[in-house]
Amino acid sequence: MTTSLLNLPPELLVNILSFLPIPALLKFSETCHCSHGLANSSLHTLSLGIHPTRVSGIISRLAATQYASPKLIGSAFSLPNQSSNSILYDRAGTYDKRRNFSTSELLSSNDPYKVSVLIPDSQVFEYVTLLSFHTALTKSILLRHGGTLRNLDLSLWTLTKPIAKALSNLTAVRALSIRIEEFPHVRAVPRSRIARQRVHEREAWDVLTSQAIWAPRVTALRLEGGELDTAQLTTLLSKSRWCRELWVCKCPGVGKEVWSFLANEWEGRTALKILGVMKCGSQLDEAVLEMIGELKGLQFLTLHGCRGLDSDVVEEWNRDVWKIPEVIPPFTMVKHIDPSTIIEVDPAYLISND
């Protein structure tokens, strides 16, 4: 059966394989050398996370921002709901088919393109060794599939220069999501190491934002966490004219200046349909609201977690000025306490028995 299948024209085989989720591609790649090459060249969508333990994988999943799915316009990051596997690699980066864990067992995800890599015996290694493995494996995967990956969702402990260089050379990517984890591991990391890591990450963002060859063609971009700042983000976006979807979340270095760039300087602002700025360093004020009004093509906007203005003000602006079909405002400030929600406690319960 395999021989007759491989006799089909290559373009037909590639089209057939493009519908397969990652676990099926892995099984197909094990049949022969030819099928291995076809499977590698057919991986177009990948969601990758590397974890030292199952617990850290669960923590990573829980810490990830839950992005709202626009109702009126499709999101490039929405994928089919199918089953997926969590895959164990050895320290050399070789797939171990003897040990599979279901996604429901680890992360309860229904993404058919999601791969969660568990590092075996991670407890016996220092953090620096684990980070080196994390960098080497991520870089290897990106280099191997960089010519075919169109949709990439990466969960990273930190952005290192080797990963940044590999990411910048992805020729086919059109939708890219990068999330820097807040708690990538369970074991403690020395503060001195964290400080150096942050400096190195800023340098890595400089590499990625200045050298990304995919920037002119990217249509969806999602950046969460880490040391990304306003200058780096604007450098990256200045090369893009066709980005329809932009999410920036938990980036304290991205300040108010980004709104002026999006509204007045960015040549791609007319193509933007979906915009999410969540829990970043910029404060909302009247000037920011006026600049949002310059983004005439917006169909979806979320400012969830932004500070400076109450939700009522944002909703009023949308109703009277913006008229964006779907808007998620920031949180609403609590102005009073409803007496019916107060629970009285008997002081006797507060007295210690000691």
pLDDT in tens, 46-99: 899 998 888 888 888 887 888 887 876 778 886 443 333 333 333 333 333 333
**Tell me, what's the pLDDT at 207?**
98
**Tell me, what's the pLDDT at 144?**
87
pLDDT digits (tens, 9 = 90+) for 210-229: 999 999 999 999 999 999 99
Please report, for the chain, how many H helices and E strands are present, in that order. Answer: 13, 11
Q: What is the rounded average pLDDT of the residues 121-149?
A: 90
What is the amino acid identity at position 138? Answer: T
Tell me what the pLDDT averaged over the chain comes to.
Answer: 81
What is the amino acid identity at position 4? Answer: S
Other C-beta atoms closer than 10 Å to the C-beta of 330 total 21
Paired residues of 176 in beta bridges:
152, 221
**Tell me, what's the pLDDT at 113?**
80
On the question of pLDDT at 13 being above 90, the answer is: no
Q: Could you give the percent of the chain with pLDDT greater than 70?
A: 74
Model confidence at 318, pLDDT cuts 50, 70, 90, reads very high
Domains observed in the chain: 1-42 (1.20.1280), 43-350 (3.80.10.10)
Residue-wise DSSP of 130-199? HHHHHHHHHHHHHHHHTTT-SEEEEEESS--HHHHHHHHT-SS-SEEEEEE-SS--SS---HHHHHHHHH
Q: What is the rounded average pLDDT of the residues 147-172?
A: 94
**Tell me, what's the pLDDT at 346?**
61
**Tell me, what's the pLDDT at 39?**
66
Distance CA 208, CA 45 (A): 20
Distance CA 311, CA 192 (A): 40
**Tell me, what's the pLDDT at 85?**
37
Distance CA 290, CA 300 (A): 17
Q: Could you give the percent of the chain with pLDDT greater than 90?
A: 49
Considering the entire predicted model, what is its pTM?
0.80
On the question of pLDDT at 159 being above 80, the answer is: yes
On the question of pLDDT at 276 being above 80, the answer is: yes
pLDDT digits (tens, 9 = 90+) for 294-315: 999 999 999 999 999 989 999 9
In three-state form (DSSP H/G/I as H, E/B as E, the rest C), the secondary structure along 222-236 is EEECCCCEHHHHHHH
Model confidence at 335, pLDDT cuts 50, 70, 90, reads very low
